[in-house]
Amino acid sequence: MSEFLGEFLGTFILILLGNGTVANVNLNQTKSHGSGWIVITAGWAMAVFVAVLITADISGAHINPAVTLGLAFSGLFEWVKVVPFILAQMLGAMMGAFTVYLFFKEHFSITATPGIKRACFCTDPAIRNYRNNFFSEFTGTFVLILAVLLISLPQLQYEYLGGTKVGLGSLGALPVALVVFSIGLSLGGTTGYAINPARDLGPRIVHALIPFKNKDDNDWKYSWIPFLGPIAGAGMAALVYLFIHTFCV
């Protein structure tokens, strides 16, 4: 139960601060309105840092189904825990998105552009090409998961053999945050770099459920990209990790 609550809390914090940054930049009459991509990428990196720092010692701070699956694919996480962890992450992401809406409710009400409002919940591509969009999410997540696996390799091996929590330790908070910052700056401009199925799907569901003026459609036809792309990227990262661990370590 403590691990479930840790994943819920960590993903809640991730979305509250990450999507809060997007809302702060995009919604009308905030003091940060129009401050741009660098603020968004920095805000998401700091959101990862805070979320990992807070919950690393509770659940391992996966806060991302792609991380959970990447660890499981690599043989470093028990498959029996995968579904409970992902459920906690989805619920935490939904609660985080709803809290962002409550926090910025007045600013949502004075923002007329539907697409801007939806962007405060979920991602969409700059140029819609499903093959390229999938590749973007696949590649960004591959970089993230491979970094997570290699940054935390000694701790992961030790903890897995000891039967305790498996994931990022609190010392991994800053390195992983910097990896996310780098991905956002280098690869994020094509799709908005969801690189986390819960980060996109959970808030997208909340966007569908909340009634407010000038609301865009939920773009379900695109929603599979930020869900399956990260899962595929996590799988590839696990394969590369296993190759490195087998032949190079």
Alpha helices in 74-218 (DSSP H): 82-103, 105-109, 114-119, 130-151, 153-162, 173-187, 197-209
> Side chain identity at 52, as an amino acid letter?
V
Q: Which pLDDT score is estimated for 158?
A: 44
- Cα distance between the two ends of the chain: 35
**What are the distances in angstroms from CA 168 to CA 34, 70, 174, 212?**
34, 13, 11, 38
Q: Which pLDDT score is estimated for 207?
A: 97
Q: Which pLDDT score is estimated for 244?
A: 85
Q: Which pLDDT score is estimated for 160?
A: 46
Q: Which pLDDT score is estimated for 213?
A: 86
Q: Which pLDDT score is estimated for 155?
A: 52
* Contact present, 67 and 148 (Cβ < 8 Å): yes
Q: Which pLDDT score is estimated for 73?
A: 94
Q: Which pLDDT score is estimated for 212?
A: 87
Q: Which pLDDT score is estimated for 63?
A: 96
Task: Write down the pTM of the prediction.
Answer: 0.93
Q: Which pLDDT score is estimated for 157?
A: 47
178 HSE (CA, 13 A, CB side)? 6
* Contact present, 6 and 61 (Cβ < 8 Å): yes
**What are the distances in angstroms from CA 95 to CA 23, 138, 167, 223, 243?**
16, 26, 23, 19, 38
Q: Which parts of the chain sit beneath pLDDT 50?
A: 156-164
Domains of the chain as residue ranges with CATH: 2-242 (1.20.1080.10)
Tell me the per-residue pLDDT of 173-201, one tens digit each, with 9 for 90 and over. 889 999 999 999 999 999 999 999 999 99
Q: Which pLDDT score is estimated for 161?
A: 45
* Contact present, 229 and 141 (Cβ < 8 Å): yes
